[in-house]
């Protein structure tokens, strides 16, 4: 069987100050009534955009929530329809981007997204939505934003904890792409570069959070990692974050950060090509390199500290084994419980 590589049409603008080009991009799209979606953390950028749009601003919505709850989308949809919006601009992390995708899915509105974290959702055709605590995920090229604006100045406000966990979230996209069954020469190249730059730039950013050059490099790596996520199927690592996150309502990026080294230790002996690339990237033991970065987090670094009950772990393992995502290492409930115990 041939491998398939499919790229999505997307116009990407990047560079310090790129956010100031958003009005021009909206002009290109022929937008007349703009809905601006932004979390509190992006209020200043949203205010700035609203000022630049003048009469073209149709409405603002400032309450996107993590995991895209459908009741929040319904509220935002009412605002969009009431204001006659014809384009949505989202400024924020994966939560704001998720709401933008959910609105586009329901209205067909074009999207311009301005990410402020390293989650990568802005370049994927994937949307996860929650309804009554149950998260369902769908994939459709129509969900992928048509315009993405990477302005590293908007990442300067990320606190150190979010910087670290969000960067490890990006690294996880790259690592899983390296052992994905549908990896291609293109995703291998993207993933290797993304991992190299995340691992190199993150310590610089943590040492000097206001340093724009390292922030820019980290954001560019997150873009490449997002492209990996868009193009390959995810494995055990993303499955664990989905199942644990859904079961216990856990924070997205923190969960990625604490699990990644454990899943790498579990999978890499069964993924020699990925292990080889990551050993070259880290110049040593990739598991130790990622574990050291995860350990430096000042928030919870274990599943136990996040509030996951230890006696819930075998049930999580059973659920994962019952319907596994594609993974290089075959899954066995006892071995998987041992992995979760180690993360606990
Ligand atoms: P988030 O968007 O929920 O943001 C986390 C917190 O950080 C929020 O309080 C936010 O206001 C704040 N924040 C964001 N940017 C900031 C900045 N620059 N400065 C200061 N504070 C800032 O978190 P996230 O990790 O970016 O996104 C998580 C969500 O995205 C989850 O719902 C996840 O499922 C989804 N996601 C989806 C995909 C996909 O492809 N569909 C990929 C990755 C993540």
What pLDDT shows up at residue 112?
98
Half-sphere exposure of 115 (CA within 13 A, CB side): 29
What pLDDT shows up at residue 132?
83
Average pLDDT, the chain: 97
Q: Give residue 246's pLDDT band: very low, low, confident or very high (50, 70, 90).
A: confident
Strand partners, 57: 34
- Whether the predicted pLDDT of 151 surpasses 90: yes
Q: Is residue 97 part of a domain?
A: yes
Cα–Cα distance measured from residue 255 to residue 260, given in angstroms and rounded to the nearest whole number: 8
Q: Are residues 108 and 244 in the same domain?
A: no
Across residues 134-161, what is the average pLDDT? 95
Which of 70, 73, 94 to probe ligand 1 with, by most ligand atoms within 8 A of CB?
Answer: 94
Q: Are residues 143 and 195 in the same domain?
A: no
Containing structural domain, residue 144 = 11-155
What CATH number does residue 234 fall under? 1.20.1090.10
Burial of 297 (0-12, 13-18, 19+ CB in 10 A): middle
What CATH number does residue 33 fall under? 3.40.50.1970
Q: Give residue 247's pLDDT band: very low, low, confident or very high (50, 70, 90).
A: confident
The domain total for the chain is: 2
Q: Is residue 3 part of a domain?
A: no
What pLDDT shows up at residue 181?
97
Final residue of a structural domain among 155, 175, 209: 155
Q: Are residues 92 and 105 in the same domain?
A: yes
Q: Are residues 124 and 215 in the same domain?
A: no
- Whether the predicted pLDDT of 134 surpasses 80: no
- Whether the predicted pLDDT of 66 surpasses 80: yes
Q: Is residue 2 part of a domain?
A: no
Which residue has its alpha carbon closest to ligand 1 atom 13? 41
Q: Are residues 144 and 239 in the same domain?
A: no
Cα–Cα distance measured from residue 310 to residue 78, given in angstroms and rounded to the nearest whole number: 42
> Cβ(145)–Cβ(101) under 8 Å?
yes
198-215 pLDDT tens trace: 999 999 999 999 999 999
Q: Is residue 101 part of a domain?
A: yes
Q: Are residues 111 and 174 in the same domain?
A: no
How far does the centroid of ligand 1 lie from the alpha carbon of residue 67, in Å?
9
Q: Is residue 207 part of a domain?
A: yes
What pLDDT shows up at residue 153?
98
What pLDDT shows up at residue 264?
98
Q: Give residue 337's pLDDT band: very low, low, confident or very high (50, 70, 90).
A: very high
**CB-defined site of ligand 1, < 6 Å:** 39-41, 66-67, 92-96, 98, 116-117, 119-121, 124, 126-128, 154-155, 157-158, 162, 166, 169, 229, 252-253
Which residue has its alpha carbon closest to ligand 1 atom 9? 41
Strand partners, 92: 115
Across residues 149-164, what is the average pLDDT? 98
228-238 pLDDT tens trace: 999 999 999 99
Final residue of a structural domain among 120, 155, 190: 155
Cα–Cα distance measured from residue 42 to residue 49, given in angstroms and rounded to the nearest whole number: 11
Q: Are residues 199 and 269 in the same domain?
A: yes
Which of 115, 162, 256 to probe ligand 1 with, by most ligand atoms within 8 A of CB?
Answer: 162
- Whether the predicted pLDDT of 133 surpasses 80: no
Cα–Cα distance measured from residue 331 to residue 164, given in angstroms and rounded to the nearest whole number: 29
Across residues 14-35, what is the average pLDDT? 98
Q: Is residue 297 part of a domain?
A: yes
Q: Is residue 57 part of a domain?
A: yes
Q: Are residues 202 and 239 in the same domain?
A: yes
Please give the number of the atom of ligand 1 that sits closest to the Cα of 119: 43
Which residues touch 122 (CB under 8 Å, ≥6 apart)? Answer: 97, 113, 115, 145, 148, 226
Q: Are residues 335 and 221 in the same domain?
A: yes
What pLDDT shows up at residue 3?
87
Which residue has its alpha carbon closest to ligand 1 atom 20? 158
For residue 316, the Cα-to-chain-centroid distance in whole angstroms is 23
Q: Is residue 104 part of a domain?
A: yes
Going from the C-alpha of 311 to that of each of 175, 343, 344, the distances in angstroms are: 29, 13, 11
Going from the C-alpha of 7 to that of each of 26, 99, 232, 250, 323, the distances in angstroms are: 23, 23, 11, 32, 28
Q: Are residues 103 and 178 in the same domain?
A: no
Q: Are residues 146 and 86 in the same domain?
A: yes
Which residues touch 33 (CB under 8 Å, ≥6 apart)? Answer: 56, 58, 83, 84, 85, 86, 87
- Whether the predicted pLDDT of 249 surpasses 90: no
How far does the centroid of ligand 1 lie from the alpha carbon of residue 334, in Å?
33
Final residue of a structural domain among 155, 183, 213: 155
- Whether the predicted pLDDT of 15 surpasses 80: yes
Q: Are residues 88 and 150 in the same domain?
A: yes
- Whether the predicted pLDDT of 114 surpasses 90: yes
Helix, strand, or coil (residue 115): strand
């Amino acid at each position: 069987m041939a491998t398939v590589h499919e790229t999505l049409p997307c116009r990407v603008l990047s560079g310090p100050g790129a956010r100031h080009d958003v009005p021009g991009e909206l002009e290109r799209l022929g937008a007349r009534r703009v809905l601006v979606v932004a979390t509190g953390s992006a209020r200043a950028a949203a205010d700035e955009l609203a000022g630049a749009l003048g009469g073209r601003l149709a409405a603002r919505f400032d309450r996107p929530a993590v995991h895209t709850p459908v009741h929040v989308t319904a509220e935002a949809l009412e605002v969009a329809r009431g204001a006659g919006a014809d384009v949505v601009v989202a400024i924020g992390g994966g939560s704001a981007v998720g709401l933008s995708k959910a609105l586009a899915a329901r209205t067909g509105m074009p999207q311009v997204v301005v990410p402020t974290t390293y989650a990568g959702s802005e370049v994927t055709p994937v949307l996860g939505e929650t309804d009554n605590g149950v998260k369902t995920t769908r994939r459709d090229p129509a969900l992928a934003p048509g315009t993405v604006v990477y302005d590293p100045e908007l990442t300067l406000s990320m606190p150190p904890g979010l910087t670290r966990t969000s960067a490890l979230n990006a690294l996880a996209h790259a690592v899983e792409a390296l052992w994905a069954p549908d990896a291609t020469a293109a995703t291998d190249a993207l993933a290797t570069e993304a991992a190299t730059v995340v691992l190199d730039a993150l310590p610089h950013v943590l040492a000097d959070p206001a340093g724009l050059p390292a922030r820019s490099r980290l954001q560019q790596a997150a873009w490449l990692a997002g492209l990996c996520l868009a193009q390959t199927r995810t494995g055990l690592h993303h499955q664990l974050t989905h199942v644990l996150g859904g079961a216990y309502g856990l924070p997205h990026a923190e969960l990625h950060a604490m699990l990644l080294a454990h899943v790498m230790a579990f999978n890499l002996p069964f993924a020699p090509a990925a292990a080889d690339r990551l050993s070259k990237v880290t110049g040593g033991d990739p598991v130790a390199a990622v574990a050291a970065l995860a350990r430096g987090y000042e928030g919870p670094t274990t599943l136990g500290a996040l509030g996951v009950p230890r006696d819930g772990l075998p049930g999580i393992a059973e659920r994962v084994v019952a319907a596994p995502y594609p993974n290089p290492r075959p899954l066995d409930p006892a071995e998987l419980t041992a992995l979760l115990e180690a993360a606990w």
